[in-house]
Amino acid sequence: MHLLWYYSGRRIHVNKEEARKKIDELTDLLNEHNYKYYVLDHPEITDYEYDMMINELINLEKQFPELTREDSPTQRVGGEPLSSFTQVQHNVPMLSLSNSYNKEDLIDFDRSIRKSIGEKIEYVVEPKIDGLSVNLKYEKGKFIQGATRGNGIVGEDITKNLRTVKTIPLKLKEEIDIEVRGEVYISRETFVKLNRKQEENGGTIFANPRNAAAGSLRQLDSKVTAKRNLDIFVFNIQRMENMNISKHIEGFEYLKSLGFKTSIYEVCKSIEEVVDQCEKWSEKRSSLGFEIDGLVIKVNDLTQREKLGTRSKSPRWAIAYKFPAEQQKTKVKNIVVQVGRTGALTPTAELDPVRVAGSVISRATLHNEDYIKEKDIRIGDTVIIEKAGDVIPAVVRVIFDERTGKEEPFEMPTICPICKEETFRLEGEAVTRCMNAACPAQLRRGLIHFVSRDAMNIDGLGESIVTLLLENELIKDAADLYYLKKEDLLPLERMGEKSAQNLIDAIEKSKKNDLERVIFGLGIKLVGARAAKLLADEFKSLDGLIKASDEEITAVPEIGHKMAESVVAFFKEDRNLEIVEKLRDVGVNMQSLKENDEEDENIEKKFEGLTFVLTGTLEKYKRSEAKKIIENLGGRVSGSVSKKTSYVLAGAEAGSKLEKANQLGVKVISEEEFEQMV
């Protein structure tokens, strides 16, 4: 009980030097106990003793706020809310994985690796944690930045939120520069508690732990994140100075020694052992304290990894093994019809809730009339439903033996359940539609689409606020959003001064979006995000697209005749043109913001955000040619190597730049590897 010495109960008057010493001592001691409790799961003191010490630290920090250290455990409670997240360019791309689903896929993976390097391969098998991938950056051992994966090249800065995760060390046990990657997740137990709390407080109910983790990490208010009890498994060193590690598992040991909570793993000497592990993990999956959706199989030897290299989005030296879709038996209580933004009527089964693949499922899509007929799904039927990972749950089959005779066949409604207008099923189409463009359901869905992440990306404006705005008749179409004032929002449920201002700011910010987002946001039937980009690149302005003929649109590579017809029909409607005019009047950008007209935009910008340095004599290209290739793919070429350099492309007789790259831990690639990336 010697630690009780720290507890004052009354305010002790200390001078600044004494305070600094005591604050340092307490910060280090508390961090060590935090590590033992959260990372090692091996507490050495009681909660009471911990509380006494942290109270002492809080008191001292109150008296001398300037002495509070950045890595103080008191700094894990979250701070002032942000108005939006800033973008972060990753120094090392955060790749994803290709998938395998069975033994044969794994054997193929092993065969192709062995063929390509002709050596014996040792694998490491790790659970594939179902959470959110993050990059953590440390300078001189201090945690300075944490980011989401985003598109792998650019993510969002969520440092403030990650500081609240108790298993993320704020200070490492060595003063080094390092970037690591891990998966933030929420344990099953915390997930159940969180949803219970959300239910009591009328908050969002999360469908599964992964959504809960993602929702908690993407909070603008880090104080909310702090309450969510998030956890992390770190599984990779992304970048490190003078890395002296030759095996993946040595990396794990090193990460552990720095204070990270690392992934559990098994080493396998052959692919047969890997297959055995897949079976074992599949059985023990449900007994783990956290959700996993598969395993990740990685080559252990880092030199072999270098030889294998990467594709544009995933490494050749690793593969994900996805567990088979989980099935459960349940009952169809009812079949309801939902109306989407293009008027499509989607029948949905309302089910007796069951737990499948980590989520409680109470609805499953039935797609369309034909699907229901083909499977003969009736209201009251006992059915098998299936879910795998992120996939929408589906009804696989009816258990006909359990029919009682009371089941009712489903009829597709001939009038829209929302606006009561007649519905149509066009020849050759599987979909039944409500054709009334003014149908409130279509309007609502269309607005939700307009503000969504891939469209106008208006932060803080989701389904519930769109519904509130419509119910309160504050908006009738997407353009009305830009006419909203803070005062209009304040009377809305749970809308404070700050959130109203944030929303107005986010709406304002979206006026500057690039043209492709506007085109996608308009919700033209058949026009997805990729098509919107192609159209924006081709026609350069919304007016250009409005004036374009069917033939001109069809002439754009990848755009088919049906899509072109749909675009032309969309801009023939007065109502749609009115919305466009209103958007223009209020200052929404309607021009392509791309600068380089000559670029071949149909090429995927796979090097976006990457900086290359070229050195030595290249065999296959002139320097200027390699530069052009990189720039055409969205990358940048720089003359000197720094920590920000993504890759050094080294030819024969590369000199000082190569040396510098090795010193800084920058990835060096050969011409061959470069070609593979291209």
Residues that bind ligand IVH (CB under 6 A): 95-97, 126, 128-129, 133, 149, 183, 235, 263, 296, 315, 318, 320
Q: How far is the CB of 321 from ligand IVH (least distance, A)?
A: 11
The answer to whether residues 444 and 419 touch, using CB atoms and an 8 Å cutoff, is no
Shortest gap between Cβ of 306 and ligand IVH (angstroms)?
A: 13
SS3 501: helix
In the complex, minimum distance from the CB of residue 660 to ligand IVH, in angstroms, rounded to a whole number: 25
Strand order through the sheet with 142-148: 142-148, 132-139, 178-185, 231-240
Considering only the C-alpha atoms of the chain, give the largest distance between any 2 of them, rounded to a whole number of Å. 85
What letter would DSSP give residue 327?
E
Residue of this chain nearest to ligand IVH (CB atom): 133
Nearer residue to ligand IVH within complex by CB, 34 or 263: 263
User: What's the CA angle centered on 635, arms 629 and 639, to 5 degrees?
Assistant: 90
Interatomic CA distance for residues 329 and 334, integer angstroms: 16
End-to-end Cα spacing for the chain: 63
Amino acid at 601: E
Which helix or strand (DSSP H or E) is residue 397 part of? strand 394-398
Dist CA 33 CA 23 (whole Å)? 15
Between strands 636-638 and 611-615, the pairing is parallel
If the CB atoms of residues 152 and 169 are measured against ligand IVH, the closer one turns out to be: 152
Measured CA angle at 150 (ends 147, 153), to 5 deg: 90
Determine the Cα–Cα distance for residues 172 and 261; give it in Å rounded to an integer.
12
Q: Which is nearer to ligand IVH, 97 or 351 (CB)?
A: 97
Please state, in angstroms and rounded to a whole number, the distance separating the CA atoms of residues 468 and 508.
19
Enumerate residues 6+ apart whose C-beta is below 8 A from 619: 651, 652, 671
Give 136 or 416: the residue with its C-beta nearer to ligand IVH.
136
Shortest distance in whole angstroms from residue 159 CB to ligand IVH: 18
Q: How far is the CB of 134 from ligand IVH (least distance, A)?
A: 8
Cα(500)–Cα(490) distance, integer angstroms: 6
3-class SS of residue 344: strand
CB of 305 to ligand IVH, least distance (A): 10
CB of 98 to ligand IVH, least distance (A): 9
Q: Is 128 a catalytic residue?
A: yes
CB nearer to ligand IVH: give 178 or 580.
178
Is 96 or 187 the residue whose CB approaches ligand IVH more closely? 96
Q: Which two tokens stand for residue 514?
A: 């690039």
CA 292, 297, 300, 301 torsion-angle sign: negative
Catalytic residue among 22, 128, 137, 166: 128
Residue with tokens 């001398």: 64
**CB-wise, 315 or 460, nearer to ligand IVH?**
315
**So which residues are the catalytic ones?**
128
